[in-house]
Structure 1
Amino acid sequence: MSDRTAAAEKRRTQAIAGGLTGAFVVLALVIVYFVVRAGDDDEQPAPTSIATTSAAATSTTAVEPAPPPAESVAPLAGNPSLPPELAKEPEIQPGTGGPLTKLEITELVKGTGPVVKSGQTVTFNYKLIPYKGGDVIDSSWSRGEPFTSPIGAGQLIQGWDQGIPGQRVGSRIQLDVPAALAYKDQDLRFVIDILSAR
């Protein structure tokens, strides 16, 4: 083999090696990009709610972040037909007596919107404590965003699926839920604002 042929062969081998190395670098960068991106998605907490029926929701302990100013979560934005009382986070007091034997609904603010029907997707603000009292277990107010879910479709606790249909949009209700219609471990008290139904 002549020197010229050997040099050409060496350059071709180097070019192939360089091309393969470049391809591997690009492949490695693509893999790193997707791994990092998937890791970022895992680190972002999905909105959760104590009202859902998932196993994770059965916990009655919550680390509650400092609540944002009430103005930042006011549900009235874009819906001036809602009562002004729903713009302010409600106070919630423990119940007396018990244990609860049935679902109890108390209207705190009378809504004038349409009646909520099973199967609709409803948006709420809510706050939850143990019926007998204690720290707030869960609150859409503390997360700074309302909670939206189908109602009467088995995606929420039975107390919500039974207690929300028939209420009017714009209502603030107190929902006292016996353990049998919640997570079986204790009676619960919710204050729920019904912001919309569609």
Structure 2
Amino acid sequence: MSERVENRSAGQGPGTKAERRLAAQLAAKQAAEKRRRRQSMLGAFAGVLAVAALIGGIVWLNSGDDDKKVDAGASTSPSAVAEPTMAAPALPEGADPALGTRPKVEAGTGELKKLAVTTLIKGKGPAVKSGQTITTNYVGVTYKDGKEFDASWNNGQPATFPIGVGQVIKGWDQGLVGVPVGSRVQLDLPAELAYGTKPPAGYPAGALRFVVDVLAAQ
């Protein structure tokens, strides 16, 4: 009897071992619970970081789209869709610099019965001869209302063609032969010297007015 009591007091009896095992299990359980809570908190924090990164990426992408929309809008500004014009053409030596600027052509007045050639700028070069190939810039409008129907300025380069040999309308063959190179002339053509009163599809009918710059003749 006294021996058992002495063993218990020394912490070596069966009841003490069971309590220790229980205490150890409880401690292990508590430590595991703490690890789970810590891991759960770390996982939640990582999730918050991931969501924040995703939101930041979306905001950045949207801001990039806005920039693209602004750029796209700029490409459709009035200056971007303005009437096309060519770069300043090469002018003959000593020519008036005004030939580098597109002329404004207005409608005529009264009834046009014959060809009228009006010199707007007189060139200093040799006179155009029949059979030569000439280089010109021009604007063509209907004589009655001044509506433009053709212009080399819209095509990005001057027009080159033989003159006086039936390769162009009669009013040009008759009106440009004899004009000095470097000149700007206004040609008023009655219908019979233009495309007629019933022209092919796509051509204007009636009297026409052209302003022509003669840039070269060869």
Equivalent-residue separation in structure 2 for 1:189 and 1:159 (angstroms): 10
Greater share of residues in helix: 2
Distance, in Å, in 1 between the alignment partners of 2:143 and 2:97 is 27
* AA aligned opposite 1:195: L
- Tell whether the 8 Å contact from 2:105 to 2:146 is kept in structure 1 after alignment: no
Q: Distance in 2 between matches of 1:153 and 1:66?
A: 37
- Secondary structure in 2 matching 1:114: coil
In the alignment, the residues of structure 2 paired with residue 121 and residue 80 of structure 1 have an alpha-carbon distance, to the nearest angstrom, of 18
| Partner of residue 83, structure 1 | 96
**With CA pairs under 8 Å and 6+ residues apart, which has the higher RCO, 1 or 2?**
1
Paired positions, count: 130
- SS of 1:126's equivalent? strand
Q: Is the 1:67–1:141 contact (alpha carbons within 8 Å) kept by the matching residues of 2? A: no
Distance in 1, Cα, partners of 2:146 & 2:185? 20
Match of 1:67 in 2: 83
TM-score w.r.t. length of structure 2: 0.57
Residue in 2 that maps onto 1:189 = 209
Q: Residue 93 in 1 paired to residue 106 in 2?
A: yes
Q: Aligned in 2, Cα 1:69/1:138: closer, same or farther, shift over 3 Å?
A: closer
Q: Measure how far apart 1:66 and its partner are.
A: 4.8
Inter-CA distance 69–139: structure 2 relative to 1 (3 Å threshold): closer
Q: Could you list the runs of 5+ residues in structure 2 that have no partner in the other structure? A: 1-80, 198-205
Whether 2:125 is the aligned partner of 1:113: answer yes
Which amino acid in the other structure matches residue 190 of structure 1?
Answer: F
| 3-state SS, counterpart of residue 148 of structure 2 | coil
SS of the residue 1:161 aligns to:
helix
Say whether 1:143 aligns with 2:143.
Answer: no
Shift, 1:68, TM fit? 3.2
1:54 corresponds in structure 2 to: none
1:133 shift after superposition: 1.6
Aligned identity (percent) is 52
Counterpart-to-counterpart distance in 2, 1:189 and 1:133: 10
**Could you say which structure has the larger radius of gyration?**
2
1:129 is displaced (CA, Å) by 0.4
Superposed displacement of residue 83, structure 1:
1.4
TM-score (structure 1 length as normaliser): 0.62
2:153 and 2:147 map into 1 onto residues whose CA distance is 14
